[in-house]
Amino acid sequence: MSDFNLTTSVAFIIFNRPETTKKVFDAIKQAKPKKLFIIADGPRLDKPGENEKCLKTRTITNNIDWDCEVLRNYSEINLGCRKRVSSGIDWLFENVEEAIILEDDCLPHPSFFRYCQELLDRYRNEKKVMMISGTRFLEKPMLPQSSYYYSNFTHVWGWATWRRAWQLYDVEMKVWDSIKKSNFIKGFSNSLEASLFWKFNFNETYNGFIDTWDNQWLFCCLINKGLTIIPTNNLISNIGFGTEGTHTKNIDSFGSNLLLEEMKFPLIHPDKIKVYTHADDHEERIHHRLDTKSKMKHILKSIGLGFLFRRN
């Protein structure tokens, strides 16, 4: 890795967690990107002490001790996960054609940066591929012998993409209402349980009940038949599980603190650009399932009794 030169821009998305931010920023400092974009949300007024946490978190990124152009996009008001991340990435791709993207709780292995840079270059003009992920959830025995495989599912804990892909993104998911009763989900899912999972999540996101940006990105990739590259060695560990996490509060979740692995070079590329269905089918069976509470909400809505389900 000593002879690797990171020329790809890196975007770092931060908020109010100085402890995890410092760990991820230290990894970015080790990689020494030539151009660094820092995106930050503002504090919530109803959270005492959050303004101080946000300021402390931002201060961490002031320690730039290598040759680097730094661009900052800070919101002084709280936009929330949905608007802040999506608008921040919009701004990112107004300035660059491609980038590596990390959030403040996604700790990368040093080899993650070279892996992303090489694949950004290789697939720059391949419209079938819409993103490169650094996270692998499945166990090794069910994966191919290549360095990565192609999936329908977007894993955004450390990832990279191009402007040409992001320009298809719509945070409002405007077309969902017109296609939600179609069979488009059957085009990538053979599981009734998983289909229920995806329809529920897309519908809740479209209606604004889930404050997120990444369900919209998955939806964007699916409707455009875009594939995600998934590494066979896990390159990202989400260190943000706990009470301060936005969507990662359960520290016992399957994705908490995944073991980091080194990517070996030169990369071994798959023979064809096609979904590795063995892995996708297994991921759906294990991870893409509704909990009992969500199932009940979905059933009540489907029979016109959604108003009976009280939201917290």
Pairing of strands 98-103, 159-162: antiparallel
Q: Give pLDDT, residue 307.
A: 47
State both tokens at 122.
Answer: 């290789």
Which sequence spans correspond to the domains of the chain? 10-173+230-280
Condensed to tens digits (0 to 9), the pLDDT of residues 225-258 reads 999 999 999 999 999 975 554 544 445 555 566 9
Distance of CA 163 to the CA centre of its chain: 16
Q: Give pLDDT, residue 183.
A: 84
Q: Give pLDDT, residue 244.
A: 55
The topology under which CATH files domain 10-173+230-280 is: Spore Coat Polysaccharide Biosynthesis Protein SpsA; Chain A (3.90.550)
State both tokens at 86.
Answer: 């999506």
State the average pLDDT for the chain. 90
Q: How many CB atoms lie within 10 A of CB 56?
A: 15
Closest CA to 79 of 10, 175, 15: 15
CA gap 228, 93 in Å, rounded: 19
CA gap 237, 94 in Å, rounded: 29
Q: Give pLDDT, residue 99.
A: 99
Describe the crossing of helices 277-287 and 192-206 by its angle, rounded to 10 degrees: 70
Please state the three-class secondary structure of the chain as a single string.
CCCCCCCCCEEEEECCCHHHHHHHHHHHHHHCCCEEEEEECCCCCCCCCHHHHHHHHHHHCCCCCCCCEEEEEECCCCCHHHHHHHHHHHHHHHHCCEEEEEECCEEECCHHHHHHHHHHHHCCCCCCEEEEECCCCCCHHHCCCCCEEEECCCCCCCEEEEHHHHCCCCCCCCCHHHHCCCCHHHHCCCCHHHHHHHHHHHHHHHCCCCCCCHHHHHHHHHHCCCEEEEECCCCEEECCCCCCCCCCCCCCCCCECCCCCCCCCCCCCCCCCCECHHHHHHHHHHHCCCCHHHHHHHHHHHCCCHHHCCCC
Distances from the Cα of 176 to the Cαs of 59, 86, 161, 171, 179, in angstroms? 40, 18, 23, 11, 5
CA gap 166, 239 in Å, rounded: 26
Is residue 157 within 8 Å of residue 106, measured between CB atoms?
A: yes
Condensed to tens digits (0 to 9), the pLDDT of residues 291-305 reads 555 444 544 455 454
Residues 112-137, mean pLDDT to the nearest whole number: 98
Closest CA to 166 of 88, 235, 236, 114: 88
Condensed to tens digits (0 to 9), the pLDDT of residues 69-81 reads 999 999 999 999 9
pTM: 0.90
Q: Give pLDDT, residue 46.
A: 96
Q: How confident is the model at residue 311 (pLDDT cuts 50, 70, 90)?
A: very low
State both tokens at 232.
Answer: 């066979």
CA gap 124, 277 in Å, rounded: 24
Dihedral class, residue 274 (left if φ above 0, else alpha if ψ from -120 to 50, else beta): beta
